[in-house]
Amino acid sequence: MDCFFVSVMIRDRPELKSKAVAVAHTGGTTPSTGIGSSSEISSCSYAAREKGVRAGMPMGHAKELCPELMVLPYDFEAFDEVSDQVYRVFHRLAPVVQAVSCDEAFLELPAGRVATQVRSEILERTCCPCSAGAGSSILLARLATKRAKPNGQCQLSQEDALAMLADMPVKELPGVGYKLAERLAQHNITQCRHVQASTQEQLQSLFGNKTGKLLWTFAHGEDTRAVVPYTPRKSLGAEVSWGVRFDDQVGANEFLTKLSGEVAVRLKDQGCKGRTITLSLKRQRQASTLHLWHF
């Protein structure tokens, strides 16, 4: 789906279709509000992106870049409703569906059933635009979707993918996180073209057999991963990053108690018991150029 939260919020507000719009915890529907706010942008329209606004950006900085930005609140009931409608279309048209998020999935479509039908039915049912990418593998489909946005569709061959991959940062490859990207950069490998110029053996000698092989195959547009309709859960948790700003220890304790209670409810619903408890604390990286009030 394209700008999922924003698309849901403005589907009944045609006057905002071409405007710079964002969804966040706080802000307001008038352009003058939000300056100095530490709230973060969750989703933003393409008109807002043209002004430099991005998801995860502090509200104050977003308003500096785009003073006319219209900020709408979350409506989780609407998000759930539209997500359910989208997945109903997926499961009706595709025999195998691998859920990625509330608005994204991989589909194995039978011959003769094309992305056009999927997109048209989703638009008809939800009034929200979506993009679709088709390819012979998960990697190619994802790359094709990136090229198709916004509100389009694209089919990508492996030959076309090689050229597209060459200009892509290596950190955007599957499995390349912050730590691995740092290690790659230490060897002057920042673009996929740098991986393509290396042999698989060279990469394996630097990063290990498994990681080196994955880097080489993904950078060459090869992907043998299968679309899996269901994967057993390995963990269960709860995380909140928007609207969480504490002024004192009392507020932090109350929040932690409520969050722990939510995890307990989810464990009970799934009939599970916990063996290990993990608490994640988000901190600002030293290299970050924007001050995010994460504690």
Catalytically annotated residues:
104
DSSP classification of residue 116 = H
Reading the block at residue 142, the tokens are 């994802």
Q: Which residues, including other chains, have CB under 8 Å from residue 75's CB and lie 6 or more apart?
A: 8, 9
Secondary structure (DSSP) of 184-196: HHHTT--BHHHHH
Q: How far apart are CA 118 and CA 142, in angstroms?
A: 16
Burial category of 295 from C-beta neighbours within 10 Å (exposed 0-12, middle 13-18, buried 19 and up): exposed
Cα distance between the two ends of the chain: 31
Whether 74 and 25 have beta carbons less than 8 Å apart is answered as: yes
d(CA 271, CA 259): 18
67: cis peptide before it, omega within 30°? no
d(CA 220, CA 199): 11
Residue-wise DSSP of 232-244: --S-------TT-
